């Protein structure tokens, strides 16, 4: 039977790097995103994570695949990150971020978890901001804290199913999302990269390797995995 990886937001960054590694391992890999993943071997399912209808259509396509799989890695990777603050983030903007970063995750889980086979994994890409906060990222910080709670609750509710879960928390990773947030000024990038013990940004492939390992090792069930090169304390 085929092993399968289902990844939200696999068109760029950590999601794309993870898709590439699963393809190399012989997995059937699906990308749920509005943009296609350009990696050969990835099957793209157009999906707007802000739309329940779009998610339902994508999951309907995936259900027969999941039922025929030996194991599935369901990786919630897609996220929105906006520059906002507690005093200026409108409720409408907050709802939009939570729709993608939290509600869509739940919607997919509700439809796919009941059919995931034993030996599968439910993995979340969090952030160092799942456990701390910085100024200017209000809605993102809030949503990543919510993902931490979702992972821990998922772990408890999945007891006895043979499905394990974890939250992987990257530090500053060289992705399109980070570059959009901080810009491309070399001095700014160098300063951000200097905020860990190795003085550089993390490569998306490093996080992808951890995702693949996490899928294959249920001993980490319920764990928060810090992947930040030893980030300096503020």
pLDDT value for 200? 86
In a domain, 17, yes or no: yes
In a domain, 121, yes or no: yes
pLDDT value for 150? 98
pLDDT value for 231? 82
Separation CA 51–CA 95 (nearest Å)? 13
Count: domains in the chain = 1
In a domain, 130, yes or no: yes
Question: Three-class SS of residue 156?
Answer: helix
In a domain, 233, yes or no: no
Q: How far is CA 226 from CA 93, 129, 200, in A?
A: 28, 11, 16
pLDDT value for 202? 87
Separation CA 11–CA 32 (nearest Å)? 9
In a domain, 26, yes or no: yes
List the 28-33 sheet strands across, edge first: 42-46, 28-33, 2-8, 69-76, 121-125, 164-170, 223-227
CB 41 within 8 A of CB 108: no
| Full residue range of the structural domain in which residue 110 is found | 2-227
In a domain, 100, yes or no: yes
pLDDT value for 196? 82
In a domain, 146, yes or no: yes
pLDDT value for 20? 97
Look at the block and give the residue holding tokens 């910085």: 134
End-to-end CA distance of the chain: 48
Separation CA 95–CA 98 (nearest Å)? 5
pLDDT value for 7? 98
CATH number for 59: 3.40.50.720
Full-model pTM: 0.93
In a domain, 143, yes or no: yes
Q: Helices then strands (H, E): number in the chain?
A: 8, 7
Q: Which segments in the chain show pLDDT lower than 70?
A: 175-195, 234
């Amino acid at each position: 039977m085929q092993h399968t990886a289902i990844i939200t937001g696999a068109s760029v960054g950590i999601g794309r790097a993870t898709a590439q590694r699963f393809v190399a391992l012989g997995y059937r890999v699906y990308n749920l995103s509005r943009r296609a993943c350009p990696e050969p071997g990835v099957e793209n399912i157009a999906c707007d994570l802000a739309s329940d209808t779009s998610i339902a259509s994508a999951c309907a396509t995936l259900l027969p695949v999941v039922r025929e799989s030996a194991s599935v890695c369901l990786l919630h990777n897609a996220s929105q990150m906006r520059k906002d603050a507690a005093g200026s983030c409108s409720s409408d903007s907050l709802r939009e971020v939570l729709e993608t970063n939290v509600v869509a995750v739940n919607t997919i889980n509700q439809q796919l978890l009941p059919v995931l086979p034993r030996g599968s994994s439910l993995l979340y890409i969090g952030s160092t901001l799942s456990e701390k906060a910085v100024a200017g990222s209000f809605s993102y910080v809030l949503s990543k804290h919510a993902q931490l709670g979702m992972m821990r609750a998922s772990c408890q509710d999945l007891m006895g199913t043979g499905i394990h879960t974890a939250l992987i928390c990257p530090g500053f990773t060289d992705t399109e999302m980070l570059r959009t947030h901080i810009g491309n000024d070399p001095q700014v990038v160098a300063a951000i990269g200097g905020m860990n013990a190795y003085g550089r940004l993390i490569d998306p492939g490093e996080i992808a390797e951890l995702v693949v390992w996490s899928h294959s090792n249920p001993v980490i069930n319920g764990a928060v995995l810090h992947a930040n090169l030893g980030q300096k304390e503020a």
